[in-house]
Each structure stands twice: as structure tokens, then as C-alpha cells.
Amino acid sequence: MSNVFLPGKLIGLLRLERTGRALEEAICYRAVLLGITRASLNTQSFISEASFQETARVLAKAALQGRIDWLKGLKENVVLGGMIPASTGFKGTDDLRLTMALLYH
């Protein structure tokens, strides 16, 4: 069995599942429900972490570690005033035109 993660390390369930599929072996884990403070400080995004609590400590630690925030989540994009990664699921007008044509003809 590969030791990819350190014992006691908190990781997201999605990352755990992806790693398990990549290694093609079962990973032994224990699910933990975190409180809101701990959950917000345990994210991939340091901007999301810094927006909740301990701003100076989180930003200083991220700078010293040379971390990069890829701005993939909703919260960090809202904090920075960027475009949010959310949509309606509407794929475009071509599908709508086809549907309307089928309904009315």
C-alpha cells in the first residue's frame, strides 16, 4: 500500500477518491465533520482561508510557502471581485431553437 497522505492529514473526499482511483487501490480513511471555522481554514484557496479569520497569519504563511491561488472557487472570486465560476447550465441558443422548432412544427 502506498503512503500518499500522512496519518491524520485532513483532505477533501473528492481528492481522496481521485487518488484512490489513480493508485487503483483502496484507501483507508475516517470521515470527519469539521466545524465552520476549521472547515474554512482547511481549503485549497488561501484567499478563501484569509477571508474568514486569522487574515494576517494565513496570508503571511501563504507568502512564505510561495502558494498560488488559482481562484477556482466561488468565495475567492467574490472576495477579489472577479467572475464567479457558476452558470445556469444553459448550453446556448442552438438547442433552444431546435426545441422550439420541434414544438411548433
Question: Has residue 1 got a pLDDT over 60?
Answer: no
**Looking at residue 28, what is its pLDDT?**
82
Measuring CA to CA, which residue among 76, 58, 78 is closest to residue 67? 58
More reliable by pLDDT, 101 or 1? 101
Question: Has residue 63 got a pLDDT over 90?
Answer: yes
27 within a domain of the structure (yes/no)? no
Q: What 3 state SS string does the chain have?
A: CCCCCCCCCCCCHHHHHHHHHHHCCCCCCCCCCCCHHHHHCCCCCHHHHHCCCCHHHHHHHHHHHCCCCCCCCHHHHHHHCCCCCCCCCCCCHHHHHHHHHHHHC
User: Containing domain of residue 96, as a range?
Assistant: 33-104
Give the cell for residue 56: 494576517
Mean pLDDT within 30-58: 81
49 within a domain of the structure (yes/no)? yes
Residue 99, domain CATH: 1.10.150.390
The 10s digit of each residue's pLDDT in 3-19 is 777 888 888 888 888 88
pTM: 0.52
Percentage of residues of the chain with pLDDT beyond 70: 76
99 within a domain of the structure (yes/no)? yes
7 within a domain of the structure (yes/no)? no
28 within a domain of the structure (yes/no)? no
Q: Total structural domains in the chain?
A: 1
**Looking at residue 84, what is its pLDDT?**
79
